[in-house]
Structure 1
Amino acid sequence: MVERNRKKTHVPLRLNILFLAVFLLFTTLILRLGVVQIVHGTSFQAEAERTENITAKLDAPRGKMFDTHGRVVVDNEPVFSVTFTRTNNTKQEEIYDIAKKLSKYIEKDTDQLTERETKDFYLSYKVNAQKIYKKLLTQKELETLSDKEQYNLVIDRLDAEDINLSEEEEEIAAIWREMIRGYALTPQRVKIGATSKEIAVISENLDEFNGTIDIKPDARRTYPYKDTLQSIFGKVGQIPKELISGYVLEGRDRNDLVGTSFLEEQYESVLRGTKTKINYVTDKSGNPVGKPEELKGSRGKDIVLTIDMELQKRVEEIVERQILDARREYTENNQLKSSYVVMMNPKTGEIYSMVGKKLEGGKFKDAPFGNVYNQYPMGSTVKAATVLTGFQTGVIEPGTVLYDTPLKLPGTKIKKSYKNMGYVNDIEALQKSSNVYMFRIAMMMAGYDYSEKKGFTKPQQAFETMRYYFNQFGLGVPTGIDLPYEDDGYNGGVKALGNLMDMGIGQFDTYTPMQMVQYISTIANNGYRMQPHLMKEIRSPSARAENPGESIYTFEPKVLNRIDMKQEWIDRVKQGLWSVMNTKEGTASYYFRNTEGYTAAGKTGTAQYDGDSYILTLVGYAPSDNPEVAFAVVSPYAEEGGINNKIGREILDAYFDIKKEGHQENLLDQPNQKNEKERENNNKEER
C-alpha cells in the first residue's frame, strides 16, 4: 500500500518538471521574438526592403571623319540593334535557351565566330564535357590541375575538325558569343542593324524573353565613298582580348565598341562618344525595381583629315587605268597586279592622297595600307641620298667626276650601269642614273681601293655609316605617320662589299612607299624631315550633319630632324633631280618636259625583285622651285614601259588641275560619269 502511494506522487513530479521546462522555453522564445521585433525590428525590415543602385552604360555614336574640304567620308547611320540584358541571377542554361529562341527571329552572321568560341560553345552545350575531359586529359592531370587549367588544356587538345555543329547551331553560337560578353544589367548588342522584319517579329514575341531582349536605337559606321580609303579609316568592334586590360585601366568597360585598326584605333580617345547611362534600382535578389532612369550621352568629336577626296578618286582612277594598260601592252609573263602612290605636302607633312590598288579576279581591291606595310627594294630612286651621303662623308664633293665603266670584284658578277657613260659628275650621275658612280661612292666610304682590289676591313662601320645618313631622310626608320602601326623597312644586315654597293643603288635594304615620299620630301623641303600625318583638325560635334563643328585642335607640322648636309649640297642634288625630268638625257624627261603650269623634279628607279621581276619606282616633287606636293610611286612586278612615269605625270596633272579649277563641293552629287564608264569597260576587258 505504501509502495502504491509512492508511485502516485512520483508521476505528478515529473509532469511538473516537464511543464516547467516547456514554460521556460516558451518564455525564452517570446522574449527573443520581442527583442527581434522591438529592438532590431527596424534594421531587419530595412534589410528586407534593401535596394541597390546599379548603372549600366551604352555606347554613344562615334565622331565623324571629313576630308580636308569638309566632305563627310565616315558617317554614322541610325539603326536599331537587338540587345540582351541579363540579371545577376541569369544562368548559363537560360542564356543558351534565349539564344536558341532568338535564332528563330534574326539572321546572325557566323563569319566572326572564332575557333575558340566554337570550342567553348561545343563543350558547354553540345557534348558531355566529362567524357571529353576523360578522353583528352591524363588521370594525373585530372587529379592535380585546377579546373581552369584542365579546361584550357582541353581547349588546346580539342580538334576543331571533331566539332560538328550544324548551320543552325553555328548561328546559335554566334548569338550566344555576343550575349556572354557583357556584364549583368548592361545591354549587350546581339545584332547591329536589325531589319524591319526582325524588329517586328521580336517586338511581337518580347514576352518570351522575360525582359532580357530589347530593341534599342543605335548607330553604325557608313562610308559615302564606299571602298575608297575605307581600310585606312579602320574598323570598329569589340575590344580585342589582348587589349582588354589596358582599356579597363583607362576606365573602359569590357563590352565597349572601340576602334580596332588604323585611324579608328589611332584616334579612339577622340572619336568615342560620351556613353548613355541607365540607372537601375534592384532589390536584394538583383532584380530591377521600377523604371530605370536614362541619361543621354553624346557622340564623339569629329576629325578633319588631310586627304583631298577629289584628288584621291582621280589618283585611284589613274592607277587602275595604267595597270590595265600596262598588262595589255606587256602580255608575256606579266605579273603586274598592283601599284602604290602617296602624295604629300613636303613642308607640312599633310597626306593629300594615299592609294593602293590590287587586281584580284579581274576586279580592283582597295589596298592603301600597302603604302605603310609593304616594303621593297626601291632601286635608283635612293641615289640622291647616296650622293648627299658621299658629300657628307667627304669621299666626293660637288662637281666630282668619276669614270662609269663596268666594275669587277672578286667573287661577284660584273657591276655596271645600263650603259657605259664614261666620265660623269654628280649631277650627270643623277640625270642619267649612273650605277657605277654610286658604286664608287660606296667603295670609297668603305676604304676599298679598286685598283689594288683591297680594303673594306671594317664592313660593320661602312654599313652603319651609310644607314645612319639614309635614316636621316626617313629610309629604314619609322616615318612617324599617325597610324597605330607601320613597317620601317628591312635591314639587310652586314655582308660583302657588293651588298654595300647595291645598297647605294637601292638594291639591298628595303623601304615602304611612305618612307620614300618622306625621303624625297626631305630634299624638297631643304633638309627638314616632316612627320607625315592624316589628321588635320579635331572639331566638336556639329548640329548640322553635313559639316564639322568648331575647331578644338589643329595639328601643328612637326620637324623630326634636319639632315646633316649643307644647304649648298642639297641645292646641288635638287639641280640633279630637276635635270632628270627636264633635260634631254634625263631618265624621265620624255614624260615631264612638257608639263603645263609647273615644272617637276624627281628620280626614277628600277629594282630587280624576286628573280627576273622588276619594281618600277618614281619619286618627285613640284613645282621644282617652290615644292608644294611630293609623291612616290611603286609598282611591283612591272615590266619596262614606264608605268611609274606615266602615273607620276598624271597624278601631278590632276593635282594642279584641281588647284586651278577649284574643288567640287560634293563629289557624290557630281560623279565623273566618263571615268566611271571607262573603268567599267576596262574591268570587262581585263576579265
Structure 2
Amino acid sequence: MPLSDLDSRAARGEDKVSTVKLHAVQYVIALIVLILMTGLWRLQVLGASNYRVLAEANRVRKVPILAPRGKIFDREGRLLVDNYSSVAAYLLREQMQNPETDLPMISVGLNIPIEQLQYTLRKYKLAPKYQPIPLKQDITPDEQAFIEAHRNELPELETIEEQRRLYPRDGFASHLIGYVGEVSEQMLNQERYALYSPGDVVGKSGVEQSYDALLRGVDGSRDVIVNSHGRELGRLGEELAKPGQDIRLTIDLDLQMAAEKALEGKNGAIVAMDPHTGEILAMVSRPNFDPNQFAVRLTRNYWNQLLTDPEHPLLNKAIQAQLAPGSTFKIIMSVAGLEEGTAQDLKVNCTGGADFYGHFFKCDARHGGVNIYNAIPLSCDIFYYTLAQKLGIDTIAKYATELGLSQRTGIDLPEEASGTMPSTKWKMKNFHDKWYAGETISVGIGQGAVAATPIQMARALSGVASGGALVRPHVLSMDQIPESMRQAYVEAFPGSGEKKVSMRAENWQIISDAMAETMNTGTASLAHLDGVDFAGKTGTAQVMSHDALARSGGGKKTQPNAWFVGMVPRRNPDIVVAALIENGEWGKYSAKLAAQVITAFIDKQRKKDNNLRVAEVKPKPTEETPAKPEQKPEQAPSAAVPEKPRSISGAGN
C-alpha cells in the first residue's frame, strides 16, 4: 500500500481503536491499584487494633497464677490444713500443631495413658481455645525435665507452679474437713458454680465444700514473651493472685485427738458440742478416708475401694448415719411423759417382760418396781413400753419433733440427713396405711421406724439439759464469716436451728438427775468419772428382730448398735457428747468412749484454771523490796492467758 494511503487513513482516525485499548488498560490498572490501596487501608487502619492483638498473641502468652486456698486452723489457732508448693503440667491447644504425633510422645514423657489424654481433650473441647488444660498435677522432677528438653518438639506443654492441699495424716478429721477436687461437669451446671471453669479446684465435701467461697481466693496471671517454639524470652507484667481466706474452726484439736483415739478400730461416730453456743468441739466418723488421695489426682483403684467398702467410709456418720437411737430415745419419752402429766405417777412392776396388744415384749432384766426416777438409770423397757401405750404415737412424735428429730439441725456441713420420726400422718403419707397401736410399743424404746443421727441426739440432749434451749450446731467460728454473707450461709444449711422448747423446770431437772444416776449405779456405771458431775444415757438398738437374729446364726453384723449421749455438768452443760459404735453390742461400751472425750475436756479445763490462778497471783510488797508504782509484777504473756472457762459442777481442781 502506498505510503500516502496510510497517511490518509491515519488522518481519518482509523488508529482510535488502539487508543481505547490503551485507556481501558489504564483504567484497569487504576482500579487494581485502588483495590490494593483500599485493602491496605483496611489492614493498616481499620484492622490495626485487631491484628495488633493477634500479633501480640503470637509472642505474648498469658500464664495463670493459681491462688492458694486458705489454711484451716482449730479454735486455738493450731494448723489443721496447709498447702505445699507443686508443679503441674498444662496443655496449650493453640500451640498444638499435630495431635496425632504429639499425644503419644506426651503420654510416654508424662506417664499418662493416651486414652486419658484423649478423654481430657474431648472434655475441654467446648472450652475457649486459649484456656490451658490441666494434664497432670504434682509432676515429678523427671517429668519437668522432659517438658524442658522437648520445648521445640512440644511447644504446647507448659508447667505452672501451684499450691496443693496438705491434709493431716491417716484421715484425721477427714469427714469434718473434707477434700478438694476438680470441678465436675455436673457441678458446672449448678448455679452455685456458674463462675467456675473446667479444671478449677473446688471443695467437694466437709468444710472444704461448705466454705469454698472463703477458702478459694482469686487467680492471677502473668504475661510472658515467647518465641515461635513457645520458649519464654521475657516477662511483661503480672497480676498477683489473691490467696483464699484462712479460717478458724470451732474444733478443739485436743478433744479431736481424744475422740479419734477413742474410736480407733471401730465403726461409728463421736460428736462433741458446746450446748451454749452450738460450737462443735470434735467430730469423728469411722471408717475414714485419706483426703490427700483426692488433693492431686484420685486413682481409680482407690475410688473403687471407697465405693465398694460395705462400711461406707465416705459417709460422715456423725451427721448422716440414720439409725434407731435405742434407749437414748427414752430421754425424749421422759420429756413427753412428764410434760403431759403421765409419767409422774406411773409405776410398773418389771418381771422381765409384758404383753401389749397380744404380743410379748421382753426387757433386759427383772427390775421390779420402777418409776420415773429410776427408769432412766435402769433403762427399763417395760416402763417405757407402758408410757408409750399411754401417750400414743402422735404425742410422742410431737415432742420428738420439737426436740429436733426428723429434721436437720442446720449444721454447716453438706448433706446432713434428717432422720425419721413416725406418726399416723407419716405412715399414711409414705405407706398409705393406718398406724396400728401395737407399733407404738417399739417406738417407746427408740426402735421401730425411729431413726436419728448422732448430732440430732446430742442436740436433743443438750436442749433437755438446758431447760429446752436448742442451738444450731456449727463448725466455723461465726466471726470468720463476713457480715454480708452470714444470712446466705444460714439459708444454705436449712434446719430447725435455734429454738426454745417449752419445758417445766422440775421436769428437766428430774431427767438430768436420773441421767447422773445412770453414770453412778445405772447402765453406764463403767464410764463413771470420780469427782465429775457426768450425766448420760446408754442405748442398745437392735439391727434385726429376735426371730431374724435366731435365723441368721449370729455374727458381728447382727450385734446391736451401741449408743450413748452424755454431758458435763448435768444441768446447763458445758459439753455434750454423742457416741455410736455400729454393731457395738451394748451402750455401756459407747459410754466409755464418750468418757475419754469428757476426760480430755475436764483435764484441759483444770489446766486452764491452774494457769489462771498462777497468772492472777501477785507478790505482795515488803519493807525490804518495796513495790515501785511504775513497775508491774511478772505475769504470763497475754496470749498465754486463756479466757476463764465456765464452771463445771463437781469437777474439782
CA distance in 2, matches of 1:654, 1:468: 36
Aligned residue in 1 for 2:217: 273
Worse-matched range after superposition: 603-612 or 643-652: 643-652
From 26, 31, 39, the counterpart of 2:29 = 26
SS in 2 for 1:522: helix
1:408 aligns with 2:346: no
Deviations 1:416-451 (A, max 9, x none): 4323444432122212112222222222233xxxxx
User: How far apart, in 2, do the equivalents of 1:35 and 1:185 lie?
Assistant: 32
Q: 2:554 aligns to what?
A: none
What's the counterpart of residue 580 of structure 1?
A: 518
Q: Point out where structure 2 has 5 or more consecutive residues left out of the alignment.
A: 227-231, 290-304, 428-434, 491-495, 550-557, 610-653
| Structure 1 residue corresponding to 2:537, chosen from 603, 617, 625 | 603
Give the alignment of 1:11-90 within 5 angstroms. 18-30=21-33, 43-44=45-46, 46=48, 49-51=51-53, 57-87=64-94
> How far did 1:82 drift?
1.5
The answer to whether the 8 Å contact 2:84/2:163 transfers is: yes
Shift of 1:81: 1.5
- Worse-matched range after superposition: 486-495 or 382-391: 486-495
Q: CA deviation at 1:507?
A: 0.1
Distance 1:19 1:367 in 2: 89
Whichever residue aligns with residue 527 of structure 2, its letter is: Y
**Which TM-score applies when normalising by structure 1?**
0.70
CA distance, structure 1, for counterparts of residue 109 and residue 512 of structure 2: 67
Name the structure 1 match of 2:147: 202
Cα distance in 2, alignment partners of residues 566 and 603 from structure 1: 21
Q: Is 1:632 matched up with 2:632?
A: no
Give the secondary-structure state (helix, strand or coil) at the position aligned to 2:161.
strand
Deviates more, 1:565-574 or 1:414-423: 414-423
Separation (CA, whole Å) in 1 of partners of 2:165 and 2:326: 41
Deviation at 1:30, TM superposition (A): 4.5
8 Å Cα contact 1:80-1:192 kept in structure 2? yes
* Cα distance in 2, alignment partners of residues 96 and 516 from structure 1: 60
The answer on 1:189 being equivalent to 2:129 is no
Aligned pairs, number: 545
Letter in 2 for 1:344: M
TM-superposed CA distance for 1:564, in Å, is: 2.4
CA displacement at 1:234 relative to structure 2: 1.5
Q: C-alpha displacement at 1:565, in angstroms?
A: 2.1
1:643-663 CA-to-partner distances (Å, cap 9, x unmatched) read 223223333223323333469
The residue identity in structure 2 corresponding to 1:73 is: L
Q: Which runs of 5+ in 1 are unaligned?
A: 109-167, 283-287, 324-336, 447-461, 541-551, 664-687
TM, length-normalised to structure 2: 0.73
Matched residue of 1:571: which SS?
helix
Q: What is the SS of the residue equivalent to 2:537?
A: strand
Report the Cα distance in structure 2 between the residues aligned to 1:275 and 1:230, rounded to whole angstroms. 26
State the partner residue of 1:450. none
Alpha-carbon distance in 2 for matches of 1:224, 1:302: 17
Select between 396-405 and 68-77 the one with higher mean Cα deviation: 396-405
Distance in 2 (alpha carbons) for counterparts of 1:42 and 1:176: 37
1:522 maps onto 2:522 in alignment: no
Question: Any conservation in 2 of the 1:303–1:537 contact (CA below 8 Å)?
Answer: no
What's the counterpart of residue 326 of structure 1?
A: none
Indicate the residue corresponding to 1:505 in structure 2. 445
Alignment of 1:165-564 (within 5 A): 168-173=113-118, 176=121, 183-210=128-155, 212-246=156-190, 250-278=194-222, 291=235, 293-320=237-264, 338-358=267-287, 369-392=316-339, 394-404=340-350, 406-410=353-357, 413-446=359-392, 462-463=393-394, 465-491=395-421, 493-494=426-427, 495-508=435-448, 509-536=450-477, 560-564=498-502
SS in 2 for 1:77: strand
CA contact (8 A) 1:181 1:188 kept: no
**Are the aligned partners of 1:259 and 1:268 in contact in 2 as well (CA < 8 Å)?**
yes
Evaluate the alpha carbon distance shift between residue 274 and residue 634 of structure 1 in structure 2; reply closer, same or farther with a 3 A threshold.
Answer: same
In structure 2, relative to structure 1, the CA distance for the partners of 1:436 and 1:101 (3 Å cut) is same
| Structure 2 CA distance for partners of 1:632 and 1:25, relative to 1, 3 Å | same
Per-residue CA deviations over 1:351-395 (Å, capped at 9, x if unaligned) read 122122339999x99778121121211111111111211233x25
Distance 1:275 1:58 in 2: 6
Distance 1:226 1:421 in 2: 45
Change over 3 Å in CA distance of 1:188–1:629 after alignment to 2: same
Equivalent AA in structure 1 for residue 165 of structure 2: R
Question: In the alignment, what sits opposite 1:146?
Answer: none
Which structure's relative contact order is higher, taking Cα pairs within 8 Å and 6+ residues apart? 1
Q: CA deviation at 1:252?
A: 3.1
CA displacement at 1:292 relative to structure 2: 5.1
Contact 1:395 1:444 in 2 (8 A): no
Q: Find the aligned partners of 1:604 and 1:380 in 2 and give their Cα distance.
A: 6
Using the alignment, how far apart are the partners of 2:350 and 2:335 within structure 1? Answer: 19
Cα distance change on mapping 1:589 and 1:45 into 2, 3 Å: closer
Deviation of residue 307 (structure 1)?
A: 1.6
Letter in 2 for 1:188: I
Q: Residue 258 of structure 2 aligns to a residue in which SS?
A: helix
Asked if the contact 2:336/2:396 (under 8 Å) is kept, the reply is yes
CA contact (8 A) 2:273 2:576 kept: yes
Which residue is equivalent to 2:301?
none
State the secondary structure of the residue aligned to 2:144.
Answer: helix
Q: Aligned-pair RMSD on alpha carbons?
A: 4.0
Q: How does 1:561-572 map to 2 (within 5 A)?
A: 561-572=499-510
Flag the 1:401–1:71 CA change in 2: closer, same or farther, 3 A: same
Equivalent position amino acid for 2:160 in 1: K
**Whole-angstrom distance in 2 between the partners of 1:415 and 1:468:** 24
Which of 105, 108, 120 aligns to 2:109? It is: 105
Once the two structures are superposed, residues 564-608 of structure 1 have per-residue CA deviations (whole angstroms, 9 ceiling, x without a partner) of 2222221221122122122x3x2223431xx23312111111111
1:549 aligns with: none
Name the CA shift for 1:632/1:380 in 2 (closer, same or farther; >3 Å): same
The one-letter code of the counterpart of 1:22 is V
How far apart are 1:627 and its partner, in Å? 1.6
Partner of 1:642: 588
Asked if structure 2 preserves the Cα contact closer than 8 Å seen for 1:477 and 1:488, the reply is yes
Tell me if structure 1 keeps the 8 A contact 2:63–2:224. yes
Structure 1 pair 306–367 and aligned structure 2 pair: CA distance change class (3 A): farther
Q: Identify the residue that residue 328 of structure 1 maps to in structure 2.
A: none
Q: Taking every aligned residue pair, what percent have the same amino acid on both sides? A: 25
